[in-house]
Amino acid sequence: MNVTVFGTGYVGLVQAAVLAEAGNKVVCIDIDNEKIDRLKQGHIPIYEPGLEPMVKNGINTGNLSFSTNAADGVGHGELIFIAVGTPPDEDGSADLSHVLTVAKTIARHMNGKKFIITKSTVPVGTADKVRAAVEEQLAELNRSDLAFDIISNPEFLKEGSAVADCMRPDRIIIGTSEAESEQKLRHLYAPFNRNHEKILVMDVKSAELTKYAANCMLATKISFMNEMANIADKVGADIEAVRKGIGSDPRVGYQFIYAGIGYGGSCFPKDVKALIASAQQLGLSADILSAVESRNERQKHYLAEKILGHYGDNLKGKTFALWGLSFKPNTDDMREAPSRVLLERLWESGAKVRAFDPEAMDECRRIYGSRDDLVLCNSKYDALQGANALVVATEWQQFKTLDIDDLKSILVEAVVFDGRNQYEPSEMQKAGFDYYCVGRPDIN
Ligand code: NAD
């Protein structure tokens, strides 16, 4: 099928590459000239496992192309995806300006019936706003004869496994009440709907709300466990034992119940805020979601508090090795990452940081530039040189294996602050470390 995707971020680019791989002719449109120039040469602006070869293959087969020319994009696609950002506005509600700009752009260049599909995460009622924006633009151009439909098709990919998630989705939600729209999307997604039925067709508003409900449920699980971890901390219980104890109940399940230093990224924080704002606009109070958000904000300070508790408020003259900058493993994304709160708290207290992340070094450089109190290191061992203590902020696979003897011989002091409960407290104790973790008794 002829497909156009507006927005070549995590969602748009991955979706486009996967649809091209399945044999569709896909054109990607973005307003970022530099990004498009680089993509044309096969340079991928983000780190996502499996994405680069798929994009290169798409370019080589001629199934995938990139452009800043919206008119060409709209002319090409019968199915047009909107996959642009929906960042939080000042009051936390989703900023729909990019989505509505694209809607008007599509209307300006329409040359026949178009199926306009919202893939961006947008509040309930946005499809109506997109429809109104398209209608208004068509009316201005005296082209109200042109037919179109607005479909909601929220995206559930996870950064770090985005390609795999799009190739083998858990579910594909199609929000429409038009039979023709449903049929078009069923056809597009047929290669991803083999073995068992994954397509769920529902009305547009339910589809829009499903996306927020899914992310907010996951954020709730994380904040719930972090709240339990804080209680465990105070009463001397072990949150890891509690996790296994509750996860063994299939009604709870093991997934997404790890205590840590908070969720980050571009989705959970903004989607929780946006649903709270939607509820408030409706005259409702979102009590649970407000608590989820405030627990998360506090949790991002958890490790900094432990560090200050150990060393005192003044960290001048101290250097910390920081392992992990991205908000979770397998991505270079540092948006709302707990590591940022940690870095800024350490700097405020006068400390220096030697940081290493397998993928997010460029992103860290872009965010913080060069500064005297930050050294970006080439490896996890390099980060340890001259550091008083190790701080772990992200559970990358390569941080899970620890050579305790090496660590002890390199660090100035045998102290570890583990924000992701990666190590065995009894082993750390045996090796003579002071070991601080989340919701488990500290060893000091
Ligand atoms: P992103 O910020 O990585 O990318 C957005 C892209 O849209 C940018 O390249 C930007 O230049 C482009 N853009 C902005 N205005 C444009 C316009 N008028 N025309 C063409 N391109 C334009 O965003 P993302 O992470 O891919 O997220 C996109 C949407 O998908 C958001 O609503 C997000 O909530 C949702 N989502 C994200 C994820 C995720 O893991 N990142 C998962 C599911 C859903």
pLDDT tens digits for range 352-400: 999 999 999 999 999 999 999 999 999 999 999 999 999 999 999 999 9
Residues 146-168: what's their mean pLDDT?
96
Say yes or no to pLDDT of 120 above 90: yes
Residue 195: which pLDDT band, with cuts at 50, 70 and 90? confident
The arrangement of secondary structure in 2-202, i.e. its CATH architecture, is 3-Layer(aba) Sandwich (3.40)
Half-sphere exposure of 331 (CA within 13 A, CB side): 19
Cα(68) to ligand 1 centroid in Å equals 15
Closest approach atom of ligand 1 to CA 29: 20
Share of the chain above pLDDT 90, in %: 98
Closest approach atom of ligand 1 to CA 101: 18
Question: In CATH terms, are 2-202 and 300-436 the same topology?
Answer: yes
Domain over 212-298 is classified CATH 3.40.1390.30:
no
Q: State residue 64's pLDDT score.
A: 98
One-letter amino acid identity for 111? N
437 an active-site residue? Answer: no
Marked catalytic residue, from 267, 364, 377, 437: 267
Say yes or no to pLDDT of 203 above 90: yes
Residues 168-183: what's their mean pLDDT?
97
Domain over 300-436 is classified CATH 3.40.50.720:
yes
Q: State residue 33's pLDDT score.
A: 97
> Is residue 157 lining ligand 1, measured as CB closer than 6 Å?
yes
Residue owning the nearest CA to atom 25 of ligand 1 = 10
The domain segmentation of the chain, as residue ranges, is 2-202, 212-298, 300-436
> Is residue 64 lining ligand 1, measured as CB closer than 6 Å?
no
273: Cβ–Cβ under 8 A, 6 or more apart, which residues?
A: 88, 92, 93, 293
> Is residue 101 lining ligand 1, measured as CB closer than 6 Å?
yes
Cα(434) to ligand 1 centroid in Å equals 43
Strand 319-323 vs strand 389-392: parallel, antiparallel, or unpaired?
A: parallel
Whether 413 and 395 have beta carbons less than 8 Å apart is answered as: no
Ligand 1 probe mutation, 36, 46, 266, most atoms within 8 A of CB = 266
Nearest partner of 325 among 311, 317, 335, judged by Cα: 335
Asked casually if ipTM beats, i.e. exceeds, 0.85, the reply is yes
Whether 218 and 256 have beta carbons less than 8 Å apart is answered as: yes
**Average pLDDT of the chain to the nearest whole number:** 97
